[in-house]
């Protein structure tokens, strides 16, 4: 989907969600956040009082179970759907736990298609390189029960609905699904937004390589800002604080532009040594130095380890220029 198509799809999305009926006016939002062992990933639960729609399943089945245990302290409503917002392992690795309790696994066609490649890349890293898991221990993705193209009106048993839209543009990953909960005036955007928290700058996995696309990420945010930025909508991101749409999108765009400048300048200073330095034994030292620069530029931001372990993708992308 190109930029023009995204604008059109988002306009239709916005028009649809503003219509009357089934707006989940009595819904409640509950948020579970893992610790660093799960990359501080948030699972967002939307409860209409009768059933729950969950967004993102956590990095491991153990963390998925913890998210459901948390939910059980908030509501007795059953989880009927799990929506995967984009194909990163902290979003889909724990889906098997949700499937076991009867939740329908929902993802866009693009997300479903991109899970396999991301899984292979990440499994190799976590098993063979990081040695965090044995081969038999690393989570296996489960099948997607329901896919959709650009839009899906997810209707619940009582007629309530949640609107899902696949932007078709790369963001933190290869593609991105966002969701609007009309009555609650809530927009769920996955890792497109990390308000006051450092972003994961690895990029999506394409052809076995990490391919960050800052410009495309910003386009996603610009389109959403055009549709929701002047409204009373609250944005729930994959990490960071929940804030108004205008603040969320303006802040994230500013952050991404500055992040791109920091990394571009750093790689440029390495000169002809850049490729060797960033891919060799000193790579970790450079990533630590970049983390230090990010912390200095954004002193109020949390989760600096996201830069330490994710900035390699953005840094390596500068080598081809």
Q: CA–CA separation, 11 vs 4, rounded Å?
A: 11
Listed residue (153, 142, 250) closest to 193, CA to CA? 250
β-pair partners for 116: none
Asked if 16 and 3 count as a contact pair (C-beta separation under 8 A), the reply is no
Q: What is the DSSP letter of 139?
A: P
- pLDDT computed for residue 257 by the predictor: 98
Q: Along the 321 residues of the chain, how does pLDDT read in single tens digits?
A: 455 556 555 554 554 443 333 556 679 999 999 999 999 999 999 999 999 999 999 999 999 999 999 999 999 999 999 999 999 999 999 999 999 999 999 999 999 999 999 999 999 999 999 999 999 999 999 999 999 999 999 999 999 999 999 999 999 999 999 999 998 999 999 999 999 999 999 999 999 999 999 999 999 999 999 999 999 999 999 999 999 999 999 999 999 999 999 999 999 999 999 999 999 999 999 999 999 999 999 999 999 999 999 999 999 999 966
Q: Global pTM? A: 0.93
Helix and strand tally (H, E) in the chain? Answer: 10, 16
Listed residue (183, 200, 197, 195) closest to 245, CA to CA? 195
Q: What is the DSSP letter of 304?
A: T
Asked if 259 and 211 count as a contact pair (C-beta separation under 8 A), the reply is no
Q: Enter the tokens of residue 113.
A: 């298609």
β-pair partners for 187: 180, 235
- pLDDT computed for residue 7 by the predictor: 54
- pLDDT computed for residue 74 by the predictor: 98
* DSSP string over 240-294: E--EEHHHHHHHHHHHHHHHHHHHHHHHHHHGGGHHHHHHSTTHHHHHHHHHHHH
- pLDDT computed for residue 13 by the predictor: 55
- pLDDT computed for residue 180 by the predictor: 97
- pLDDT computed for residue 221 by the predictor: 98
Q: Which CATH superfamily is domain 3-247 in?
A: Ribonuclease Z/Hydroxyacylglutathione hydrolase-like (3.60.15.10)
Q: CA–CA separation, 91 vs 98, rounded Å?
A: 12
β-pair partners for 181: 186
Q: CA–CA separation, 160 vs 145, rounded Å?
A: 20
Listed residue (212, 204, 208) closest to 317, CA to CA? 212
Token match 């991105």: residue?
176
User: For residue 128, what are the contacts with CB-CB under 8 A and spacing of at least 6?
Assistant: none
Query: What separation in angstroms does the CA of 265 have from each of 220, 261, 283, 293?
Result: 25, 6, 16, 11
Element spanning 203, H or E: none
* Crossing angle for the helix pair 283-297 and 245-270, to the nearest 10 degrees: 140
Asked if 91 and 42 count as a contact pair (C-beta separation under 8 A), the reply is no
- pLDDT computed for residue 196 by the predictor: 98
């Amino acid at each position: 989907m190109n930029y023009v198509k995204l604008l059109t799809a988002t306009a239709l999305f916005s028009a649809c969600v503003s219509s009357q009926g089934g707006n989940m006016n009595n819904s409640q939002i509950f948020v579970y956040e893992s610790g660093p062992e799960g990359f501080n990933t948030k699972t967002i639960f939307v409860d209409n009082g009768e059933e729950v729609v969950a967004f993102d399943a956590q990095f491991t089945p153990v963390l998925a179970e913890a998210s459901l245990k948390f939910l059980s302290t908030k509501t007795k409503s059953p989880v009927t759907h799990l929506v995967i917002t984009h194909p990163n392992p902290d979003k889909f690795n724990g889906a098997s736990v949700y499937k076991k309790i009867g939740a329908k696994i929902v993802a866009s066609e693009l997300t479903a298609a991109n899970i396999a490649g991301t899984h292979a890349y990440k499994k190799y890293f976590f098993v063979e390189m990081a040695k965090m898991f044995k081969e038999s221990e690393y989570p296996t993705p489960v099948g997607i029960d329901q896919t959709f193209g650009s839009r899906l009106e997810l209707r619940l048993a009582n007629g309530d609905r949640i609107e899902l839209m696949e932007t078709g543009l790369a963001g933190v990953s290869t593609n991105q699904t966002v969701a609007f909960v009309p009555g609650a005036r809530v927009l769920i955007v996955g890792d497109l937004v990390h308000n006051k928290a450092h972003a994961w700058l690895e990029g999506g996995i394409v052809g076995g390589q990490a391919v960050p696309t800052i410009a495309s990420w910003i386009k996603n945010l610009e389109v959403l800002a055009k549709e929701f930025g002047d409204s009373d909508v609250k944005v729930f991101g994959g990490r960071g604080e929940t804030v108004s749409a205008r603040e969320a999108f303006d802040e994230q765009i500013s952050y991404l532009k500055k992040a791109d400048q920091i990394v571009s300048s750093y790689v440029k200073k390495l000169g002809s040594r850049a490729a060797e330095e960033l891919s060799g034994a000193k790579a970790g030292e450079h990533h630590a130095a970049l983390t230090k620069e990010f912390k200095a530029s954004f002193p109020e931001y949390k989760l600096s380890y996201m830069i330490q372990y994710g900035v390699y993708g953005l840094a390596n992308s500068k080598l081809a220029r």
